[in-house]
Amino acid sequence: MADSVLMAEVWRGEFAESIHRGHAVVCDAKGEIRAAWGDPDEVILPRSSCKMLQALPLVESQAGRHLSTEQLALACASHQGARMHVERVARWLEELGLSESDLRCGPQVPDDPEERHRLREQHETPCQLHNNCSGKHAGFLMLNRALGGDPEYVDPSHPVQRAVRTAFEEMTGMESPGYGIDGCAAPNFATTVHGLALAMARMADPRGLGAVREDAARRLVGGMLAHPLLVAGEGRACSELMEAAGRRVTVKTGAEALFTAILPEQGLGVALKIEDGGTRGSECAIAAILARLGVVDAADPAVLRRLSPPIENRVGASVGKIAPAEAFWQGGARL
């Protein structure tokens, strides 16, 4: 097994104060590794970075044939809990004859500042619609209706989660060694960094997966590209990096410093894990990889905010920066 590699550094003046190490793979749909750092066989929990894989069984089913591009994006989203997210998920549930109480993701204080303020002003309690995974769970409920399962669709032995695991293993090309329970109560199946990158590459180039899965993969990727703000939200790395790339690449984060990317034009997939779980390290590293792949401009303000954001003190003076490690960045050389 290879050790993790240094990917991002935190500088204060002339001193490297902190570091972030990790693993990453760029590969094609045949599984051929185009670039790798650290250990491609490192076992990880993808967390929310794999939501498009969790949505595959729904989109492949008859129930998912007429999903809108907005619903496809929400099924893959880790959203801010803004009104644009909450209202759309509520409407989706209403179309199913269901309600917020049918969700099993749990309530969450929204990350969106305007919605947090509205809740405080109106003395309302955050609900499950505000959960960043509520779109994924609306998709689970839609699939559950088609499968005729019981209400507890997050149980690992439930038909919904069995369908998710099957699709996940087929796309990653390996049997999952197990699962952890995610923050939204659903099982999150483990794989390797290479396996996750392969799944993303197959989403990027789904030819050979069969007509049904190819169509489902293209629709999910298309939904994410059409609605970057529904996938995450204002000010979020996923949404801003997708916009900076001209909506030619999907970017999806997951808790504990995970990122995936799908590059349809190049037929490539990316998987990244920063081992200390730090978001600042993972955002820096994914921006560096996307820049080296040529899908974003390193000088774009949205990219630069992740690639090399300044560190400011309490009086607003710039006293340092976060930056990709030089051996990893290599001056931005194309991969």
Mean pLDDT for the stretch of residues 269-273 = 98
Tens of pLDDT, residues 43-55: 999 999 999 999 9
| pLDDT, mean of residues 3-10 | 97
Given a contact cutoff of 8 angstroms between Cβ atoms, the answer to whether 191 and 172 are in contact is: yes
Q: What percent of the chain clears pLDDT 70, i.e. is strictly above it?
A: 100
Per-residue pLDDT, averaged over 125-154, amounts to 98
Hey, is 57 helix, strand or coil? helix
Number of residues that make up the chain: 335
Dihedral sign from CA coordinates of 182, 31, 73, 147: negative
Which of helix, strand or coil describes residue 199?
A: helix
For residue 171, name the pLDDT band (cuts at 50, 70, 90). Answer: very high
Model pLDDT, residue 1: 53
Quick: pLDDT tens for 204-220. 999 999 999 999 999 99
- How many angstroms separate the Cα of 21 from the Cα of each of 97, 229, 260, 272, 333? 47, 29, 17, 11, 20
Q: Domains in the chain, ordered, with CATH? A: 5-332 (3.40.710)
d(CA 174, CA 176): 6
- Within 10 angstroms of residue 3's Cβ, the number of other Cβ atoms is 11
Nearest to 49 by CA among 159, 133, 173: 133
pLDDT in tens, 31-80: 999 999 999 999 999 999 999 999 999 999 999 999 999 999 999 999 99
Q: Say what the pLDDT of residue 4 is.
A: 97
Decide if pLDDT at 198 tops 60. yes
Count of beta carbons in the 10 Å neighbourhood of residue 9: 21
Q: What is the pLDDT of residues 272-302, one digit of tens each?
A: 999 999 999 999 999 999 999 999 999 999 9
Q: Report the mean per-residue pLDDT for the chain.
A: 98
User: Helix, strand, coil proportions of the chain in percent (round to 5)?
Assistant: 45, 20, 35
How many angstroms separate the CA atoms of 260 and 51, rounded? 10
Q: Give the pLDDT confidence score for residue 2 in this predicted structure.
A: 78
Q: Which residues pair with 188 in a beta bridge?
A: 180
pTM of the predicted protein model: 0.97
Helix (H, G, I), strand (E, B) or coil at 238: helix
Local structure of residue 124 (DSSP, 8 states) = P
Residue 152 has pLDDT above 60, yes or no: yes
Q: Taking the CB of residue 276, how many other CB atoms lie within 10 A of it? A: 14
What tokens does 25 get?
Answer: 């793979």
